[in-house]
Amino acid sequence: MKIVVLDGYTENPGDLSWKGMEAFGEVTVYDRVSYVDSPVIAEKLGDAEVAVVNKTPITKATMDACPNLKAVAVLATGYNVVDTAYAKEKGIVVMNVPTYGTQIVGQYAVGLLLEICAHYGHHDRTVKEGRWQNNIDWCYWDYPMIELAGKTVGVIGLGRIGQTSAKILGALGMRVIAYDSFQSETGAKLAEYVDLDTLFAQSDVIFLHCPLFPSTEGMINKDSIAKMKDGVILINNSRGQLVVEQDLADALNSGKVFAAALDVVSTEPIKADNPLLTAKNCLITPHISWAAKEARQRIMDITVDNIRSYVEGDPKNVVNR
């Protein structure tokens, strides 16, 4: 059996191993092929039976050009890069990695908030540039130092990752409230469930930890921002499309939103004309919440297990049954 990895570098830039897949056949790994639909994708796949992808699209045209393709293993939770409906028509199994980064994504989200509260990176740079040693005062700070204890944080989406953030935020002494359409006993132990308007009105900080659905797309917009406290802080390392970016940029520039920290944007990689690039007090990182080695190893292990289950005739984590 032939297995082709079409964009392996992001998952494994060299600190992991593809050997687990070699138990099932011949494995060819490409660091990068194409992140847009292109004939080169089918060319690289050739007569492979299994395609392993992260963000390389597997479209109708590619599937038609690769009649031997029988399974697609996605190195991620999201699988929108694959035309799953057409794959089902063709009898091609599509498998994903449903859970792998709960702890690191929650940790990263809180880290984004802590950076806003103290601007560690900025002050480190000023010290190394010589400013402290030449300062007439004992210390200095260029941004307001924010203490979180006693403030209210609203978590939109109290699933596994939201609960991880809620635990950390509660330990920092924050009052944690949450909105989720599916409430749980576990969530209720970590946060007070409220309706969305109450969350907007009461929160000093808002975390987005919800999936992207038609009902959540663009949920952070000029109307919802108007319901928020003046000076609110927004954290989003979930999905960029949850936010209407021009509306958030306008709110940042006006001061309605004090600061935002984002690990995701609506189009990735980010476009040069994204209004958040020039907005005030907006921290943006390149979608790396998930990228700790431990989390990537879990992706690798689950993907290997997915391929094993396919080979054994009982595929796991199938998203197009």
Report, as residue numbers or ranges, the catalytic residues.
239, 268, 287
- Cα–Cα distance list, 130 to 125, 134, 137 (Å): 9, 6, 14
Amino acid identity at 320: N
> And the tokens for 314?
């009982």
CA distance 177 to 202: 9
Secondary structure in 3-state letters for the chain: CEEEECCCCCCCCCCCCCHHHHCCCEEEECCCCCCCCCHHHHHHHCCCCEEEECCCCECHHHHHHCCCCCEEEECCCCCCCECHHHHHHHCCEEECCCCCCHHHHHHHHHHHHHHHHHCHHHHHHHHHCCCCCCCCCCCCCCCCCCCCCCCEEEEECCCHHHHHHHHHHHHCCCEEEEECCCCCHHHHHHCEECCHHHHHHHCCEEEECCCCCCCCCCCECHHHHHCCCCCEEEEECCCHHHECHHHHHHHHHHCCEEEEEECCCCCCCCCCCCHHHHCCCEEECCCCCCCCHHHHHHHHHHHHHHHHHHHCCCCCCECCC
Q: Are 248 and 220 in contact (CB under 8 A)?
A: yes
φ and ψ of 95, to 5 deg: -120, 145
